[in-house]
Amino acid sequence: MTKFAIRTAFAAALFAATAFSQAKNVILFIGDGGGVTSLNAASIYGYGKPQALYVQSMPSVGLADTSTAMEWVTGADAAASAMATGRKGRNGVISVSFDDGKGAKEGEVYKTVLEYAEERGLSTGLIENNKEGLLYEMVSAFYAHAGMGNEELDIYHQFLKPRFGDGPDVVLATNYKKLNDQVTGGIDAMGAEFKAKGYVFARTMDEVASLDPGKKRVIGMFDGDDWDMTAAVKLAVARLSGNPKGFFLVVHSDCHLAKTRPSLVRLIDLDKAIRAVAEANKSNTLTIYTADHGYALYVKGERATEALKSTDHKRIVDAIHLEDQHTAEEVPVLAIGPGSGRVKGYMSNTDIFRVIMASYGWNEQTAKR
Ligand SMILES: [Zn+2]
């Protein structure tokens, strides 16, 4: 080690150890397509003014690059893998290495932050309202590993056979009909498999709410995708908080719905869910909000009348441009709680992994931010 390297390593360790207090729990909220322009539009639509969302009041603000190792514009798979593993991947691949044409070994498994948490005995959870539910890449990249052309049933089997610990403890997700069709015996057979893995299997939010708090492992699979996000997040946090070692929770909300109003309403609802838990738990819980990618949804206003500060919902929607496209620009990373000070400036979506790891106090080499 050179003198410089020693000094740098020492400074990094000092920075990590002293500048920030340690987080017991981390909650990562991901708004699909919920980038800077979508947050701005949601605030104006929902509250008639800019910067009125809770996430826009979070003290730490960074801007993360979302490009993949191969593409300027990311898909859900590469974005989730970057946050989960701290490595840039490529679209179509989750949490494994890929053939980059430079002789990289294909299919090498990258350990995810959820797996680190499971290994260390923390409780873990996933909340997902995308129609693909538990198998949607934004959450599956945290528990599964698969290359190009991965099979849904394989991802499902990886969920049932976790590599570390006993896998996610609380899962609240949309019921994915395609998976039900693929699994022999459908939803009943899945329910039996979940029970065999020690889960209570619930089909409605009310059922989850009425469960004995002593039931630590719960899978809720709800019909439709418009269930109450705030209720889901509160129920998950209440159950996961029982572990004295702490918890890690990923919440993904699909705010990328190809239509203006539903996308904005989803984002506003997600923001309410974040407000409901982040503030109350900020003494020991790092809460992060980010987006998987930018989305071509923004308030436009070339003509003076278009730009007028109307608070009428219809006029606001009329002034919003929406093209159902992912975009390449940086996405906000907003944070509150212990370790949130590591979120700042222009960063990479892979830094989200490092911020979480460092905030738990894990892995010195990755504790730089
Ligand atoms: Zn998306």
pLDDT digits (tens, 9 = 90+) for 342-357: 999 999 999 999 999 9
- Centre of ligand 1 from the C-alpha of residue 32, in Å: 5
- Centre of ligand 1 from the C-alpha of residue 256, in Å: 6
- Centre of ligand 1 from the C-alpha of residue 281, in Å: 28
Does the pLDDT at position 102 exceed 90? no
Nearest to 109 by CA among 59, 165, 147, 55: 147
pLDDT at residue 211 in the model: 95
- When pLDDT is cut at 50, 70 and 90, the band that residue 9 belongs to is low
pLDDT at residue 104 in the model: 74
Q: Token pair of 61, please? A: 């603000």
124-133, 278-287, 297-306: least confidently modelled range: 297-306
Alpha-carbon distance of 209 to 211, in angstroms, equals 6
- When pLDDT is cut at 50, 70 and 90, the band that residue 14 belongs to is very low
- DSSP strands (E only) in the chain: 25-31, 60-65, 123-128, 170-174, 200-202, 218-222, 247-253, 285-291, 294-299, 320-327, 331-336, 345-348
- Centre of ligand 1 from the C-alpha of residue 87, in Å: 19
* Average pLDDT, integer, range 187-197: 95
- Centre of ligand 1 from the C-alpha of residue 191, in Å: 29
HSE-up of residue 142 (Cα within 13 Å, Cβ side): 29
- Centre of ligand 1 from the C-alpha of residue 294, in Å: 8
Region class of 107: left (phi > 0), else alpha (psi between -120 and 50), else beta: left
Q: What does pTM read for this prediction?
A: 0.93
pLDDT at residue 186 in the model: 93
DSSP state of 358: H
Query: Which has more confidence, 308 or 341?
Result: 341
- Centre of ligand 1 from the C-alpha of residue 1, in Å: 43
- Centre of ligand 1 from the C-alpha of residue 365, in Å: 31
pLDDT at residue 363 in the model: 73
pLDDT at residue 240 in the model: 97
- Centre of ligand 1 from the C-alpha of residue 267, in Å: 13
pLDDT digits (tens, 9 = 90+) for 270-281: 999 999 999 999
- Please report, for residues 178, 281, 295, the alpha-carbon distance to residue 274 in angstroms, rounded to integers and kept in the order given: 30, 11, 21
Alpha-carbon distance of 287 to 352, in angstroms, equals 11
pLDDT at residue 2 in the model: 53
- Centre of ligand 1 from the C-alpha of residue 16, in Å: 32
- Centre of ligand 1 from the C-alpha of residue 72, in Å: 14
pLDDT at residue 366 in the model: 45
Cβ within 8 Å of residue 42, ≥6 positions away = 34, 53, 264, 267, 268, 271
* Average pLDDT, integer, range 192-210: 97
- Centre of ligand 1 from the C-alpha of residue 75, in Å: 7
Strand partners, 200: 218
pLDDT digits (tens, 9 = 90+) for 20-46: 899 999 999 999 999 999 999 999 999
- Centre of ligand 1 from the C-alpha of residue 330, in Å: 14
- Centre of ligand 1 from the C-alpha of residue 34, in Å: 9
- Centre of ligand 1 from the C-alpha of residue 209, in Å: 29
- Centre of ligand 1 from the C-alpha of residue 14, in Å: 38
pLDDT digits (tens, 9 = 90+) for 142-152: 999 999 988 99
- Amino acid present at 152: E
- Centre of ligand 1 from the C-alpha of residue 17, in Å: 35
- Centre of ligand 1 from the C-alpha of residue 77, in Å: 9
- Centre of ligand 1 from the C-alpha of residue 179, in Å: 20
How many Cβ atoms sit within 10 Å of the Cβ of residue 273?
Answer: 21
pLDDT at residue 367 in the model: 41
Region class of 35: left (phi > 0), else alpha (psi between -120 and 50), else beta: beta
- When pLDDT is cut at 50, 70 and 90, the band that residue 11 belongs to is very low
- Centre of ligand 1 from the C-alpha of residue 46, in Å: 21
- Centre of ligand 1 from the C-alpha of residue 242, in Å: 32
- Centre of ligand 1 from the C-alpha of residue 291, in Å: 8
Query: Which has more confidence, 10 or 334?
Result: 334
* Average pLDDT, integer, range 215-226: 94
